[in-house]
Amino acid sequence: MKRPSSKIRDEIARLQEQLRQAETREAERIGRIALKAGLGEIDIEDGELLARFEELAGRFRHGNEKPSKKPEDGAGRSDRPSAAKVTAVPAAGGGGEA
C-alpha cells in the first residue's frame, strides 16, 4: 500500500517538530548543568568550548577512549587504579588464603 506524498510530508513535518522540541529540552538541560558548574562565568571562545565539550562527550561514549592519552599499561588511568583497589580489597581482607 502506497502512501500519498502529502501524508509523508505531513509526517516529516511532525517529526521535525518533535526533533526541535527534543533538541530544545536537551539544550536547556545541558545549559542548566553548565551554568551550575560555573561555565557561564568563564571567558572562553566558542570554538574552544566546543572542542572541550567534544572531548568530554568522547569520554562518556561507550568504547570511545582516546588511546593517545592512555599509558600503554593503563596505570595512569583514573578508573583503572580504583578498579584495582576494589579487587585488591577483598584479597587483602582474606589474608588466611595465602
- Alpha carbon distance 37, 34 (integer Å): 5
Domain ranges of the chain: 11-43, 44-90
Consecutive 10-residue averages of pLDDT for the chain (98 residues) = 92 98 97 93 92 92 57 41 33 38
3-state secondary structure of 34: helix
User: pTM for the complete prediction?
Assistant: 0.53
Amino acid at 98: A
* Model pLDDT, residue 62: 66
The backbone region for 61, taken as left when phi is positive above 0, alpha when psi lies in -120 to 50, beta otherwise, is beta
